[in-house]
Chain A
Amino acid sequence: MRETGASAFFTQKFMLEQFSILIGGNAGDGIDSAGLVLARILTQFGFHIYVYRDYPSLIRGGHTFSIIRVSRKKIAAHSNRIDFLLALQQDCIDLHKDKIWEQTGIIYNSDLIKNDSLPLQCKLIPVPLENIIKEEKAMPVIRNACMIGAFCKALGISKNVIEYVFKKSKIPDIEMNILIASLGFESAGVFKDLRIENVPLKRLPLLSGNEIIALGLVKAGLQTYISYPMTPSSGILHFLAKNSDELGCLVIHPENEIAVILMALGCSYAGNKAAVGTSGGGFCLMTEGLSLSGMAEIPLVIVVGQRPGPSTGLPTYSSQTELNFVLNAGQGEFPRFVVAPGDAEEAYFWSGMSLAIAWKYQIPAIILSDKTLAEGVFSFDNDSISNFPEITPVVEDSYKEYKRYENTESGVSPLAFISRSKAVIKVNSYEHDEYGITTEDPSVTMVMQHKRLRKEKLILHELEDFEPVGVYGNRDADTALICWGSNKGVCCEVGEALGIKIIQPRVLAPFPVQELLKACSGVTQCICVENNALGQLACLCRCSGIRIDDTVLRYDGRPFSIEELTGEIQRIIVKKE
């Protein structure tokens, strides 16, 4: 893979086609914002971008870094081979030695980084960040701007682009940032023979997975978002709160996750499309509300951003450990919709779909994201997404003798909403009759249980039109990777390079067994790739009669890089041969 990457680096002599930048420093240094500014500068040249953000669970101190991967092709995974290292602190040199190679260009803070620690085989550009900041009496956090200026100079990016991006970024103290960036620009040298071509391609917006999930929900008609802060889903709360007025979305941050889900169910009952967001720990508190949504048939969307557990685990890192949990959470048996989007476009489309499905079938819908998807930043191609389907709930107009739980053939009862209807609308957490009045009658219990459960078949049927399973790569290959959620990006890139097939169930409940069997037909070696220790999707597949031959599992809180996954898959394929 190293070779593949290297040749891409030099496809056109000296013209950068695909590369990775690592910027690192202490938490509190503004590394995250600096990474985003860099990404936006490169967006201006028509590149596709993916930003991996790595930070510890603290506010100040500790090493934090972002990897900005830049390509002419669509990407959604990071590389561990760094082409440009922007080092603000000594840690950046000491901690990332394994990611540099002989062609890595290093721009470093020459006031803080010891000369004898620098890898001499690399191309080095010193910048006296501390001195520049001191002379202008600028806040220390603005040294990022200085580094950005130096990077642009080194790659021949003009000052105008820096200025344009800073002005658009709405960060505080824009003028000082531009001044310091310009001083960094002046003080830096250039990487000989390397430059960036301005390709007349569409410039794509850069958004985090959380922001895209929020926009997908709003596009589909979200009216209220309720959440208690928890990494990695808090980004949705912050984004919607900031844009609440313009997006027509009420945002509430209650006392805890129990209140979150119950308030949301109150909103839904009143006909207001509501969603909630959390991570595994918060979802634990929500499970009684989830089951209530199932019993009372009150639509609800729940975003669960996964992070490593058990318990508090690694709060700011990534995992795929909640698949079993969300599939089985809540007492009793009731249908639910679970979707795991794999990238930006899927996050947008399937978040909208979740809201539509929840309302049409009056069930809970869960959007399973993870830290990699939620906090990763993607070039988002809105135009590549097919239009949102018109999936609308059945609404009751006549209110004489209204039965909230009318036992229809489909199992879906027409909805009516308080304050918009004169019907008496009774919902109930107990088993209930068609009017919503509590019952313990065995025959009514059977009728209502069947009514709820038969909705699941309809959902499966509805999904047939929306590709609940994605298939990519070499469709004729007899080896396939099966993955879910954020592993789509890395699996597609690795699988395509190795000439194999990639299969991605996007919907996990109701589980699209027929589509998966079809995707797996002709495959003789199925390798399941997951970020958990037990192979939760592999287990689900096996239970459904889908053969899984090998698993590649990573559960140290970090997503697979292109290089790591390539190595793992090659080892398995060679062993087999």
Chain B
Amino acid sequence: MNLATHTHNTWCPGCGNFSILNAFKSVITSLIQNEEIPLENFVLVSGIGCHAKIVDYIALNSFYSLHGRAVPVATGITCAAPNTRVICFSGDGDAYGEGLEHLIFAAKRNVNITVIIHNNRVYGLTTGQYTPTSPFGFKGRSTPHGSCEKPLNPLELMLASGGTFLARGTSHGIDQLKNLFREAILHKGFSLVDVLQVCVTYCNLYEYYAPRIYELQNHDSSCFSKASAKIKEWDYNSDAPIALGVFYKEVKPVFGDLCGNRVSSKEQVNARIQDILEQAT
């Protein structure tokens, strides 16, 4: 299956985004070929940033939205067309900075969407400023003397907000990414995969991550407190082991279902308008 488009890829050579693109395409292809989800039911939504170019590179329905706004667009799509499978691509500046309120509310509502965060911990497209997940003291172009803010732990925030599927992967573990993406996409509810994606140009953390990452083993992802403990093990700042895998998974009613289906015929609507006018007389 060829999901390529006619446009040229403009990511830097060695960019972690390639792993995300390849893992994602491979998962989508298998979901389509195994007839789990039909091609036309996929809708991709992106914010703005290097990550967002991904929707130009995949021949699927897509909404290339605004900086920080992928999540509300995705929420609208899934409410209007509940049979679609909406996947948001977002960056750390995009989702954890500019559009953080939307992410918190989507988790709180358990909106039936998947959010994949290209978390490279730097603004790439605007050429190297600190983001909400950059380490303390990060020297970027807007913080030449070092950032004086500690980073957010986005997974901790998402867990507190009510997210029902929370996972972390890296752009150097493509097989694991495939598993995480597949599981996240098939999860009914709000799923988020925080991908530690390496930006080779402005924040190359490959050497930093390599010795610290490990895969979660025998972890009970249905237990909130165990998930919380594992999520807090590394705070995106201090030196600690960095767990990868599914931290938390829970089945809860989703926002679209709670909204209900409101299809009325033109005749029903007209009759109801007449009722309202009569009542108001």
A residues lining the B interface (CB < 8 Å): 40, 43, 168, 203-207, 211, 215, 218-219, 221, 223-224, 226, 243-250, 252, 254-256, 258-259, 262-272, 274, 288-289, 292, 296, 380, 382, 418-419, 421-422, 424-430, 432, 435-438
Contacts and interface: CB of A to CB of B under 8 A. Distances in A.
Contacts of A263: 72-73, 75-76, 79
Contacts of B228: none
A245 B273 contact: no
Contacts of B43: 270, 418
B53 interface: yes
Contact of B55 (A259, A268, A296, A426): A426
Contacts of A267: 76-77, 79-80
Interface of B: 5-7, 39-41, 43, 45, 48, 53, 55-56, 59-66, 69, 72-81, 83-84, 101-102, 104-105, 259-260, 262-264, 266, 268-270, 272-273, 275-281
Contacts of A43: 281
B49 to A, nearest CB: 12
Contacts of B5: 435, 437
10 contacts: A218-B269, A245-B260, A254-B105, A259-B101, A262-B69, A264-B76, A266-B80, A269-B73, A418-B43, A418-B81
Closest 9 CB pairs of A and B: A266-B76, A248-B264, A272-B80, A263-B76, A262-B72, A205-B280, A270-B80, A267-B80, A270-B81
Contacts of B59: 424
Contacts of B45: 266
A247 B272 contact: yes
A255 B64 CA distance: 21
Contacts of B273: 215, 218-219, 247
Residue of A268, A421, A438 ringed by the most chain B CB atoms within 10 A: A438
Given A224-B80, A419-B81, A258 B281 contact: no
Contact of A243 (B66, B73, B276): B276
Given A246-B268, A265-B65, A267-B80, 9 more contacts: A219-B270, A245-B260, A247-B273, A266-B78, A271-B81, A380-B277, A380-B280, A428-B64, A438-B53
A522 B64 CA distance: 52
Given A255-B105, A422-B40, A429-B66, A246 B272 contact: yes
A252 B79 contact: yes
A219 B277 contact: no
B105 A250 contact: no
B55 A206 contact: no
B72 A419 contact: no
Residue of B62, B84, B104, B278 ringed by the most chain A CB atoms within 10 A: B62
B72 A259 contact: yes
A513 B5 CA distance: 45
Residue of B43, B61, B275 ringed by the most chain A CB atoms within 10 A: B61
The A interface, classified by DSSP as helix, strand, loop or mixed, is: mixed
Contacts of B66: 262, 288-289, 292, 429
B76 A250 contact: no
A254 B72 contact: yes
Contacts of B259: 250, 252
B280 A427 contact: no
A437 B79 contact: no
Nearest to A432: B64
Given A206-B281, A255-B105, A263-B72, A272 B62 contact: no
A203 B280 CA distance: 10
Contacts of A247: 264, 269, 272-273
Contacts of B80: 223-224, 250, 266-267, 270-272, 274
Contacts of A426: 55, 61-64
B262 A244 contact: yes
A253 B53 CA distance: 31
B194 to A, nearest CB: 21
A266 B63 contact: yes
Nearest to A260: B72
Nearest to B55: A426
B79 A243 contact: no
A93 B104 CA distance: 52
A45 to B, nearest CB: 12
Contacts of B277: 205, 207, 380, 382
Contacts of B79: 224, 250, 252, 263, 266-267
Contact of A248 (B81, B83, B269): B269
A36 B95 CA distance: 47
Contacts of A428: 62, 64
Contacts of A269: 63, 73, 76-77
B123 to A, nearest CB: 17
A352 to B, nearest CB: 11
Contacts of A430: 64
B61 A437 contact: no
A427 B63 contact: yes
A252 B255 CA distance: 11
Contacts of A268: 76
Contacts of A244: 262
A429 B64 contact: yes
A493 B215 CA distance: 77
Given A266-B63, A418-B40, A429-B66, A274 B76 contact: yes
A267 B101 CA distance: 20
A244 B48 CA distance: 34
B45 to A, nearest CB: 8
A269 B259 CA distance: 19
Nearest to A348: B273
Given A43-B281, A224-B79, A248 B263 contact: yes
Contacts of A211: 276, 280
B77 to A, nearest CB: 4
B281 A205 contact: yes
Nearest to A420: B81
A432 B64 CA distance: 10
Contacts of B272: 243, 246-247
Contact of B65 (A40, A224, A425, A429): A429
Contacts of A203: 281
Contacts of A274: 76, 80
Contacts of A296: 63
Contact of B73 (A250, A262, A419): A262
Contacts of B76: 224, 226, 262-270, 274
Contacts of A432: 64
Residue of B80, B81, B273, B278 ringed by the most chain A CB atoms within 10 A: B80
Contacts of A429: 48, 64-66
Contacts of A207: 277, 280
A422 B60 CA distance: 10
B61 A204 contact: no
A527 B62 CA distance: 51
Contacts of B260: 245, 250
Residue of A271, A292, A382 ringed by the most chain B CB atoms within 10 A: A292
Nearest to B86: A266
Nearest to B99: A258
B100 to A, nearest CB: 11
A265 B264 contact: no
A292 B67 CA distance: 11
B64 A438 contact: yes
A254 B108 CA distance: 11
A274 B77 CA distance: 11
A256 B65 contact: no
Nearest to B274: A382
A107 B66 CA distance: 59
